[in-house]
């Protein structure tokens, strides 16, 4: 299943508490301004969108935001001054309340001496960096980088060595040092570290924004594009220039006078509106509490849900509430709401809670309707200022898809899923409910779907995750994974513990080599859960990127280093870590990201590995790798009982495979509905016109919802992804990336999964294209290089059981 499996199971996808910034700091800076959801987690070039949803947001306080804004106001005038050769960085920084670089340097220089954070070591000093190093280290670094940036802006040469190389150095130094800090915060958190990060975060954000908005740099890139040197640049180099130009352009750097003023005003207004939108959703969620006192009302709920409901009651003042005896409170928070809809036998209560959920933030003081209208209006105006027809075009300017292609794909998936969802999935539920003697069967409603789906799933696939654990021990799983990588991509992965410092004794370090023995990359693997200091979820990120410019002395290039973080059960006593099947899929997923980072052939640092890969394409390698978990030879090769060595029983394998497609058509339609409404609102919809946003939701619903939405449905009022997160005109990315990864896997199926020679050959091709080219070539071209044609939806439909299977 795809990375977004978690979401596709929900009517509502919880908002991601971070912004997606796949292309590094410059991209991130722009994202902050354009998305303006006040949630920053920048300098993390890649987020596994659905995997690590628990990643905590970095929310700036009001005072911090003021400082960032002051800095930006200054930096804009400073950037213009630099253009005239009159940059006065010191004054500007002081005006922003950040202190002059000189004064700041004096203040922190002493503490920065011997700071492991700034050490130029082969691998970051994860073992030595402590909270106390963060503030002086980052301040020192920002001071240095600010000086370098001012120097660069004052002496800009529109050439590779005169512009891009110094820029890469600035971007890289910040990205590596900040990467260490934010990584430690994610895996080795402490009160001291949190405070230290909070203290320097605004300065870091301000610098990143300043860098992304530099008008002199924008002008120099423009000159490069128009100058003599252009034709001498490689494809990857040209792409770097084009991406930089487009990012700056989308950020309004190219606008003049009134247009620029208006543009900046709109951005600020949008920021406020998005924040308001989130606050309303949060407040309306908080406001709702359904008190239950009769045990019959909570019938069906599993112990964890009962415990949570009793806890909620206690928090509301019902002292002594217990899971067994109540009272219980059901809220609209996802961990409370979803289990209730899934398990509560009381149908009318399910209806009541469902209705509350779909009308959140849609009335009274917390009504998001006017905010939605204003956001859409301003996004449209902003797009027009930039010369685009609508916001969808702006969103897609830096993505793989176009509006037309995205809509075409959604329609193909929709029409192929409709009958299966209506005649298959829905009828199955009705029949099953009838079989169970429930009156719901003859009139199944929106609040019955989740409940009966869960009953049917239990009946059909009684897979007990816990019983499977002994078959998936971590050492066997990693052996299987590494041997798969070896077969497919011709690499050797060897333990290299001790070669690089680590942040915890359980963290493993590995070296990736060519079959000839030549080292090509490294990675850390932090597998186990440590709730006291480590965030939940799983993710991958870069530690160092491949770069020829930053090659250590005597070497051709700096080698890429990645880290993978998961949260599975630690070993107990002599027993190894025993995993659920979902955890196995997660490791494969993250490893797919890591492979794209590590097996890159790109020598240009700014587009090597995962850097500058379009966000609707970035989940291709990760979801691609998940497919191998269902490949018989791969799965059976690693699914060996850790004590007896016995292979996973055949009937369990069959069930795992079948469960993957359970209600696939309905899940597909649900995601398509969200994606289509998002695209419609950001392209053809006219704010203030005769049709309301809710009319659009209903109109599209006729083609995507097998049970029509209720007339009072106001789900849009809590659709934070597109109104408060970074997903506006981008929700389609979930399906887009799934199509790519399924189609890529289909190349192996076509070659013959049991044909080792053919699999190897296809694997090498995948390595040289999808994994090798990084952000140095447009992703559609990369896909065509691999597949020999444009992506097709057939494979995803077939894998989802919506097209006849071919012999595999």
Residues in 146-205 at the binding interface with Zn ion, rule: CB under 5 A? none
Contact window for Zn ion (CB under 5 A) among 260-268, 438-446, 570-578, 619-627? 619-627
Query: Which is nearest to 701 in space by CA: 516, 521, 469, 446?
Result: 446
Q: Which of 271, 407, 590, 619 is catalytic?
A: 590
Q: How far is the CB of 45 from Zn ion (least distance, A)?
A: 12
The residue (of 20 and 746) whose beta carbon lies closer to Zn ion is: 20
The residue (of 539 and 642) whose beta carbon lies closer to Zn ion is: 539
Separation of alpha carbons 3 and 512, rounded Å? 25
Q: How far is the CB of 594 from Zn ion (least distance, A)?
A: 10
Q: How far is the CB of 725 from Zn ion (least distance, A)?
A: 16
Q: How far is the CB of 10 from Zn ion (least distance, A)?
A: 18
The residues, ordered by sequence, that sit 6+ positions from 216 with a Cβ below 8 Å of its Cβ are 79, 82, 83, 153, 156
Contact window for Zn ion (CB under 5 A) among 2-10, 340-348, 389-397, 512-520? 2-10
Contact window for Zn ion (CB under 5 A) among 42-50, 404-412, 638-646, 709-717? 42-50
Residues in 730-769 at the binding interface with Zn ion, rule: CB under 5 A? none
Q: How far is the CB of 3 from Zn ion (least distance, A)?
A: 5
- Counting contacts by CB under 5 A, is residue 3 touching Zn ion? yes
Query: Which is nearest to 145 in space by CA: 106, 101, 107?
Result: 101
CA dihedral 740, 741, 742, 743 (to 10 degrees): 50
Output DSSP code: residue 13: P
Strand arrangement, sheet containing 508-514:
491-495, 508-514, 519-528, 561-568, 539-544
The residue (of 3 and 543) whose beta carbon lies closer to Zn ion is: 3
Q: How far is the CB of 628 from Zn ion (least distance, A)?
A: 15
The residue (of 539 and 783) whose beta carbon lies closer to Zn ion is: 539
The residue (of 3 and 729) whose beta carbon lies closer to Zn ion is: 3
Separation of alpha carbons 577 and 524, rounded Å? 17
Range list of H helices, 113-234 = 131-154, 165-187, 191-212, 215-226
Q: How far is the CB of 107 from Zn ion (least distance, A)?
A: 41
Name the residue with tokens 């083609």. Answer: 703
How many of the chain's residues bind Zn ion (CB under 5 A)? 3
Query: Which is nearest to 613 in space by CA: 777, 791, 405?
Result: 777
Q: How far is the CB of 49 from Zn ion (least distance, A)?
A: 6
What is the DSSP code string of 466-532?
A: HHHGGG-BHHHHHHHHHHHHHHHH-EEEEE-TTSS--SSTT-EEEEEEETTS-EEEEEEEEEE--TT
The residue (of 78 and 622) whose beta carbon lies closer to Zn ion is: 622
Separation of alpha carbons 764 and 487, rounded Å? 9
Are 252 and 260 in contact by the 8 Å Cβ rule? The answer is yes
CB-closest chain residue to Zn ion: 48
Range list of H helices, 288-346 = 303-315, 334-343
Contact window for Zn ion (CB under 5 A) among 40-48, 361-369, 377-385, 470-478? 40-48
The residue (of 3 and 217) whose beta carbon lies closer to Zn ion is: 3
Contact window for Zn ion (CB under 5 A) among 46-54, 402-410, 760-768, 774-782? 46-54
- Counting contacts by CB under 5 A, is residue 413 touching Zn ion? no
Are 205 and 42 in contact by the 8 Å Cβ rule? The answer is yes
Name the residue with tokens 């140095």. Answer: 776
Name the residue with tokens 């209806």. Answer: 351
CA dihedral 405, 410, 413, 419 (to 10 degrees): -140
Strand 39-40 relative to strand 290-292: parallel, antiparallel, unpaired?
unpaired
- Counting contacts by CB under 5 A, is residue 717 touching Zn ion? no
Contact window for Zn ion (CB under 5 A) among 100-108, 621-629, 676-684, 711-719? 621-629
Question: Between the CA of residue 714 and those of 11, 167, 286, 354, 357, what are the distances in Å?
Answer: 13, 46, 17, 12, 9
The residue (of 48 and 744) whose beta carbon lies closer to Zn ion is: 48
Q: How far is the CB of 593 from Zn ion (least distance, A)?
A: 6
Contact window for Zn ion (CB under 5 A) among 1-9, 417-425, 436-444, 525-533? 1-9
Q: Residue from 182, 346, 453, 622 that binds Zn ion (CB under 5 A)?
A: 622
CA dihedral 76, 77, 83, 88 (to 10 degrees): -110
The residue (of 276 and 589) whose beta carbon lies closer to Zn ion is: 589
Q: What phi and psi, each to the nearest 5 degrees, are found at residue 521?
A: -170, 170
Q: How far is the CB of 723 from Zn ion (least distance, A)?
A: 23
The residue (of 136 and 609) whose beta carbon lies closer to Zn ion is: 609
590 is catalytic: yes
CA dihedral 154, 155, 159, 161 (to 10 degrees): -110
Q: Residue from 20, 28, 44, 48 that binds Zn ion (CB under 5 A)?
A: 48
Catalytic residues, which ones?
Answer: 590
- Binding residues for Zn ion, rule: CB under 5 A, are 3, 48, 622
């Amino acid at each position: 299943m795809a990375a977004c499996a978690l979401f596709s199971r929900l009517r509502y996808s919880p908002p991601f508490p971070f912004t997606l910034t796949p292309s590094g700091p410059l991209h991130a800076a722009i994202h902050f301004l354009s998305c303006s959801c006040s949630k920053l987690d920048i300098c993390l070039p890649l987020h596994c969108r659905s995997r690590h949803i628990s990643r905590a947001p970095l929310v700036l306080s009001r005072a911090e935001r003021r400082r960032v804004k002051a800095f930006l106001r200054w930096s804009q005038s400073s950037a213009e001054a630099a253009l005239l050769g009159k940059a006065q960085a010191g004054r500007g920084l002081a005006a922003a309340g950040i202190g002059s670089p000189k004064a700041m340097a004096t203040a922190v220089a002493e503490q920065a001496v011997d700071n492991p954070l700034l050490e130029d070591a082969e691998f970051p000093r994860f073992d030595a960096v402590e909270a106390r190093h963060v503030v002086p280290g980052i301040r020192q670094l920002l001071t240095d980088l600010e000086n370098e940036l001012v120097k660069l802006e004052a002496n800009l040469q529109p050439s590779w060595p005169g512009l891009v190389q110094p820029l890469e150095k600035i971007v890289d130094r910040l990205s590596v040092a900040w990467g260490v800090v934010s990584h430690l915060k994610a895996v080795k958190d402490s009160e001291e570290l949190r405070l230290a990060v909070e203290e320097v975060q605004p300065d870091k954000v301000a610098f990143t924004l300043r860098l992304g908005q530099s008008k002199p740099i924008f002008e120099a890139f423009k000159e490069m594009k128009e100058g003599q040197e252009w034709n001498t640049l490689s494809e990857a180099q040209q792409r770097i220039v084009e991406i930089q130009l487009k990012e700056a352009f989308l950020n309004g750097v190219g606008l003049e006078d009134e247009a620029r003023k208006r543009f900046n005003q709109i951005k600020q207004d949008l920021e406020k509106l998005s924040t308001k939108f989130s606050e309303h959703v949060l407040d309306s969620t908080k406001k709702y509490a359904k008190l239950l006192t009769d045990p019959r009302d909570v019938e069906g709920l599993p112990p964890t849900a009962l415990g949570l409901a009793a806890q909620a009651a206690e928090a509301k003042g019902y002292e002594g509430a217990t899971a067994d005896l109540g009272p219980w409170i059901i809220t609209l928070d996802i961990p409370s709401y979803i289990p209730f809809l899934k398990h509560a036998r009381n149908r009318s209560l399910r209806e009541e809670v469902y209705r509350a959920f779909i009308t959140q933030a849609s009335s009274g003081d917390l009504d998001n309707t006017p905010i939605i209208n204003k956001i859409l209006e301003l996004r449209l105006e902003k797009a027009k200022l930039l010369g685009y027809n609508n916001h969808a075009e702006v969103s897609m300017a830096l993505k793989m898809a176009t509006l037309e292609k995205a809509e075409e794909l959604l329609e193909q998936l929709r029409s192929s899923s409709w009958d299966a969802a209506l005649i298959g999935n829905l009828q199955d539920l009705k029949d099953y409910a009838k079989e169970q003697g429930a009156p719901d069967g003859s009139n199944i409603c929106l609040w019955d779907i989740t409940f009966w789906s869960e009953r049917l799933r239990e009946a059909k696939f009684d897979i007990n995750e816990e019983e499977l654990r002994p078959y998936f021990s971590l050492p066997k799983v990693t052996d299987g994974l590494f041997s798969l990588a070896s077969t497919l991509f011709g690499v050797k992965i060897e333990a290299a513990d001790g070669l690089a410092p680590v942040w915890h004794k359980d963290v493993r370090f590995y070296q990736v080599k060519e079959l000839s023995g030549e080292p090509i990359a490294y990675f850390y693997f932090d597998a186990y859960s440590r709730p006291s200091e480590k965030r939940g979820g799983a993710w991958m990120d870069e530690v160092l990127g491949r770069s020829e410019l930053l090659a250590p002395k005597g070497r051709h290039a700096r080698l890429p280093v990645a880290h993978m973080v998961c949260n599975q059960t630690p070993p107990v006593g002599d027993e190894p870590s025993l995993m659920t099947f979902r955890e196995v899929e997660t490791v494969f997923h993250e490893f797919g990201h890591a492979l794209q980072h590590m097996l890159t052939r790109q020598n240009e640092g700014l587009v090597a590995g995962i850097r500058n890969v379009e966000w609707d394409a970035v989940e291709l390698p990760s979801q691609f790798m998940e497919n191998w978990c269902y490949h018989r030879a791969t799965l059976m090769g690693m699914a060996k009982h850790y004590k007896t060595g016995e292979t996973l029983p055949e009937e369990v394998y069959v069930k795992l495979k079948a469960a993957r497609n359970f209600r696939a058509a309905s899940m597909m339609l649900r995601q398509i509905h969200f994606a289509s409404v998002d695209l419609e609102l950001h392209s053809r919809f006219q704010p203030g016109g005769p049709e309301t946003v809710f009319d659009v939701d209903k109109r599209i619903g006729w083609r995507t919802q097998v049970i029509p939405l209720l007339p009072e449905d106001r789900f849009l009022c809590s659709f934070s992804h597109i109104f408060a997160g970074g997903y506006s005109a981008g929700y389609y990315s979930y399906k887009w990336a799934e199509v790519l990864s399924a189609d890529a896997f289909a190349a192996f199926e076509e070659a013959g999964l049991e044909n080792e020679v053919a699999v190897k050959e296809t694997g090498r091709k995948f390595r040289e294209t999808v994994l090798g080219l990084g952000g140095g070539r447009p992703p559609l071209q990369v896909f065509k290089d691999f597949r020999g044609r444009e992506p097709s939806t057939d494979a995803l439909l077939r894998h989802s059981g919506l097209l006849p299977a071919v012999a595999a």
